[in-house]
Structure 1
Amino acid sequence: MSASRKRTSLVTKLDQLECHFTWALKKDDIDLNRLDRQLKVDVERKEKLTQTYNALAYVKFLQGFQEEALSNLMTSLKLYKECHEEELDKSLIITYGNLAWINYHMTNYTECESYLQKVLKINENISSESSSVPEVLGEKGWTFRRFSYKYYEKSKECFKKALDLEPEVGKWNAGYAIALYRTEYREFTIEKSPAIKQLRRAIETNPDNDVLKVLLALRLVTYKSYEEAERLVEQALERSPDHPRVLRYAGKFFRNKGRVDQGIALLRNALELSPNSSFIHHQLALCYKMKKIELLQKGNHQARAQQVQQIRDQIIYHLEMATKHATGFITALSELALHYGEKHEISRAEQMFHMTFETAKEKNDNLHVVHFHYAEFQSYSKREEVLAIKHYMECLKMNPGSYEGRRSENKLKRIAEKRINKNTQVGKAYGILGFIHKEKGEKSLAIECYEKALSYGENDEYLTNLCSLRLSI
């Protein structure tokens, strides 16, 4: 067989494997440097080591370091064999698959075929396809969750399939609970929330997992179940006072409850354990932002100007650190640009917003968030209400159900109501209200507002919207 035909034959077999190389993990969806650091922290903490080394190997491959990728896979295999005698275990399907692929890329075709044979032998000993093996589904779900928020739905699907096959296994219950926590955006009652129900089930099957308890507490707070939530956080902190994920989620919990100083203290402890965590730096920035808002609400801004600036400097520092450790952190980048604007560094803010818009468009990542923060910048730093309206509208149009979408709706309503109350630009005010109703699917109210807007003067955009709405009813 010619070398070309041999490679084609190998690729056909490789494509049928279940491993990182066949899961469509796209380089453009992943912040590789950030993920690299996170996985190395997991290695230091000895968390899910065989899975972590598998994931780290694929990250190194994407970064172009094939030798390091191979080394990490061999470490994963070694760690597995130290704990298990069986070499045909289902858990090795992914590691052997990755080893086959990396050896193929390194043109080690004999080794590649050897690992393909090992996968084949495992598959001969199991009654189902590799794609239906719980261990494969579990690691696949964990990988999707770890690599990018864009894969959270895929992660949820994998853990649900694993759980359907083995409903009593704790790690599948935990994986599915975390996936639901990260993908449940609709509001339910506390009794009907799938995330809350599954987090409770996951805690039953993983009673020592304190991260699950804090996540449940965070979700309970959204339904105002404060007493149970605080009890869970206290239990988690008492049992796991040095666990970075417990500390950071507990810090977020106390920020959400308005106990900002307590949140800052916990997040600073977490930062000592994970100094390069963009998540922790971002949470600290949000805590200081809350302190700034509280201070401004007390009034007498001139007397408090120095104190406000000191807090703003803390916000900017932590946002700069968050974006340093996660260069593609769109939300933190746009928040940083907004705070440069607050500090009257207008040119620097504009430059960062321009860069962040480009990055968000290129990555298809949180563009609505950038529009919201840019609208805030135009509204408060540049006093350009027309541009602010434009970008609030873009945010609402892109993601009406998001936090930023809801904030944009409220901002637009305030602008419209202020104009109507002052009897200035009333036609445009009703045009704004018509737009809000249109985006919310409230066609009759939108038509009513657009008709009022037209009564104050001809506007082609309002007329076009009015016609299209009438035709759709």
Structure 2
Amino acid sequence: MENCSETVSEITKKSLEKSLQQLKCHFTWNLMEGEKSLDEFEYKVLNKYEFQNDEFKATTYNLSAYIKHHRGQYEAALAFLLKAEESIQEKYQDQAEIRSLVTWGNYAWVYYYMDQPKIAQSYVNKVKEVCAKFSSPYRIESPEFECEEGWARLKCTKNQNERAKMCFEKALEKNPKNPESTFGWAIANYRLDDRPPSQNSMEPLKKATELNSHNQYVKVLLALKLQKMNEEDKGESLVKEALKEAPDATDVLRAAAKFYQKNPDLSIKLLKRALKHMPDNAYLHYSIGCCYRSKILEIKNGRENKNVGGVEDLPELIGQAVDHLKKVENNGNLLHVCSYLAAIYVIAGKYKEADHYFQKEFSKNLTPVGKQLLHLRYGNFLWNEMKCKEKATHHYVEGLKINQDSKEREKIKTKLQKIVQWRLSKNEADSEALQLSALLHGLNEDRQ
């Protein structure tokens, strides 16, 4: 008679899987929801978003382990989890057990995927032993535990801001005056309140500043909020105070650079200070390159600005912009890098290099509006610098064909209307100009 009963190992594996699903950790939080790719997710976590300072090391290590797992690099994932454990032991000696629950849950999942169920079960047991002290099998209701999840979600992407806010609100229900929970709650409110700006996040930021007097980053966030509400002077005094108290904190430096974005020299100075601590940070190189680009465009357009410099400064500014942007030219998560490089090379009179970077930008996976903008910029380059009017017209038409309403498309229409007028003024029977005119007329009728 055939034995239909499950083996002991199958039963054990099923019970392990059931336990794993109940753990509160990165593997059960669905952190990659709404993300386009793992590469983009990793870039945002490790480069773009805040919390790169020492106090968030464990959060970053846990997320790095989660990313390495998704890449199938299990040994590397374990190495990051070990670093997370060590960081928690060092920073939270009196709360090490509770703070380690998330890391242990991650360990359990990684070992499970490595097909080492015994070790995975041992970490599940560690979680159970701590939770048993709070009369719960796999998870506990504590501000520290909720904060761990909140920070992980805030460290990810804007898709997680609403969930992060809920985590910190849950933590505040247990302890309304907890500085850490208030800080996280204020940041989540600030991000969700960003567009359009309103007063909604002002009070949470003020409260967080009061309860976290030592935390300089939250002061700069409050300053940015005041700036948006046209209270620049109040904001600047907070920024200066934060920079004095935490001159090397990368989050403070990056946020302060954003506050001073109308003063590109000061922004560059602050971003370069942050770069000393994070020399490989792609977002910093990109931001510095964009600041130099702003200065170049100001000079090129003849705008008077004491913070920008003069025409004699252009070669140095172009060199700096190119140096920083070329460091991130292959980063698919940064918008318009190759297009920016192309435009800078046009200003430098290096048309071969400019064309190279325009072509490189065309090879990228762009949004419809991104493609329109690129056709417009490349068309302008061909028309004005290369004097290839036929080829330029072709690119304007290609941009126009992309069926997406945008200011870029309107600019392309205006360009083509001028080309039609110019050609017909020379030859009323110009067949190509008449075809273009019919195309533009047809588009206007469609819109009506």
- Interval of TM-score (by shorter of Structure 1 and Structure 2): 0.7 to 0.9
Question: What is the CA–CA distance in structure 2 between the aligned matches of 1:74 and 1:422, rounded to whole Å?
Answer: 64
C-alpha deviations, 1:302-350, integer Å up to 9, x for none? xx877435423322221122446x5532354553455456553353133
Distance of aligned partners of 1:154 and 1:335 in 2 relative to their CA distance in 1, 3 Å threshold: farther
Partner of 1:374: 374
Partner of 2:4: none
Q: Secondary structure at the match of 1:203?
A: helix
Distance of aligned partners of 1:215 and 1:20 in 2 relative to their CA distance in 1, 3 Å threshold: same
Question: What is the CA–CA distance in structure 2 between the aligned matches of 1:139 and 1:173, rounded to whole Å?
Answer: 13
Taking only the aligned residue pairs, the percentage that are identical comes to 27
* Structure 1 position 231 matched with structure 2 position 237: yes
Partner of 1:105: 113
Cα RMSD after superposing both structures: 4.0
Contact 2:78 2:107 in 1 (8 A): yes
User: Any residues of structure 2 matched to 1:1-40 within 5 Å, and which?
Assistant: 1-26=7-32, 28-31=37-40, 34=43
- Structure 2, gaps ≥5 residues long: 1-6, 305-309, 384-391, 423-437
* Structure 1 position 215 matched with structure 2 position 221: yes
User: Which of 40, 60, 65 is residue 57 of structure 1 equivalent to?
Assistant: 65
Q: Secondary structure at the match of 1:224?
A: coil
- Higher-Rg structure is 2
C-alpha deviations, 1:72-94, integer Å up to 9, x for none? 3234334545644677x443331
Q: Shift in Å at residue 236 of structure 1?
A: 1.0
Question: What is the CA–CA distance in structure 2 between the aligned matches of 1:157 and 1:388, rounded to whole Å?
Answer: 47
Partner of 2:277: 273
Partner of 2:190: 181
Q: Shift in Å at residue 21 of structure 1?
A: 1.6
Partner of 1:291: 295
Distance of aligned partners of 1:382 and 1:141 in 2 relative to their CA distance in 1, 3 Å threshold: farther
Q: Secondary structure at the match of 1:21?
A: coil
What's the TM-score once normalised by structure 2's chain length? 0.75
Question: What is the CA–CA distance in structure 1 between the aligned matches of 2:373 and 2:412, rounded to whole Å?
Answer: 16
Partner of 2:253: 247
Question: Which stretch of structure 1 is more off in the superposition, 290-299 or 108-117?
Answer: 290-299
Q: Shift in Å at residue 204 of structure 1?
A: 1.6
Question: What is the CA–CA distance in structure 1 between the aligned matches of 2:231 and 2:314, rounded to whole Å?
Answer: 33
C-alpha deviations, 1:190-209, integer Å up to 9, x for none? xx422333222221221111
Question: Which stretch of structure 1 is more off in the superposition, 168-177 or 125-134?
Answer: 125-134
Contact 1:174 1:206 in 2 (8 A): yes
Contact 2:358 2:378 in 1 (8 A): no
Question: Which stretch of structure 1 is more off in the superposition, 203-212 or 168-177?
Answer: 168-177
Q: Secondary structure at the match of 2:77?
A: helix
Q: Shift in Å at residue 379 of structure 1?
A: 5.0
Q: Shift in Å at residue 142 of structure 1?
A: 1.6
Partner of 2:204: 198
Partner of 1:432: none
Partner of 1:126: 134
C-alpha deviations, 1:266-292, integer Å up to 9, x for none? 222222222222222222222212211
The letter for the 2-side match of 1:60 is K
The letter for the 2-side match of 1:308 is L
Question: What is the CA–CA distance in structure 2 between the aligned matches of 1:394 and 1:33, rounded to whole Å?
Answer: 31
Distance of aligned partners of 1:65 and 1:415 in 2 relative to their CA distance in 1, 3 Å threshold: closer
Question: What is the CA–CA distance in structure 1 between the aligned matches of 2:326 and 2:214, rounded to whole Å?
Answer: 35
C-alpha deviations, 1:200-251, integer Å up to 9, x for none? 2221221111112222222322332211111111111111122222222222
- Structure 1, gaps ≥5 residues long: 361-366, 398-407, 426-455, 467-473
Q: Shift in Å at residue 462 of structure 1?
A: 4.6
**Bigger share in helix:** 1
The letter for the 2-side match of 1:135 is E
The letter for the 1-side match of 2:249 is H
The letter for the 1-side match of 2:246 is S
C-alpha deviations, 1:36-95, integer Å up to 9, x for none? 8659x988x6323433332232233234332232233234334545644677x4433312
Question: Which stretch of structure 1 is more off in the superposition, 330-339 or 106-115?
Answer: 330-339
The letter for the 2-side match of 1:279 is Y
Distance of aligned partners of 1:370 and 1:229 in 2 relative to their CA distance in 1, 3 Å threshold: same
Q: Secondary structure at the match of 2:134?
A: coil
Name which structure has the greater RCO, CA cutoff 8 Å, separation 6+: 2
The letter for the 1-side match of 2:238 is L
Question: Which stretch of structure 1 is more off in the superposition, 125-134 or 373-382?
Answer: 125-134
Distance of aligned partners of 1:347 and 1:7 in 2 relative to their CA distance in 1, 3 Å threshold: farther
User: Any residues of structure 2 matched to 1:123-162 within 5 Å, and which?
Assistant: 123-126=131-134, 130=139, 133-162=142-171
Question: What is the CA–CA distance in structure 1 between the aligned matches of 2:328 and 2:442, rounded to whole Å?
Answer: 44
Aligned residues: 406
Question: What is the CA–CA distance in structure 2 between the aligned matches of 1:167 and 1:375, rounded to whole Å?
Answer: 54
Question: Which stretch of structure 1 is more off in the superposition, 326-335 or 209-218?
Answer: 326-335
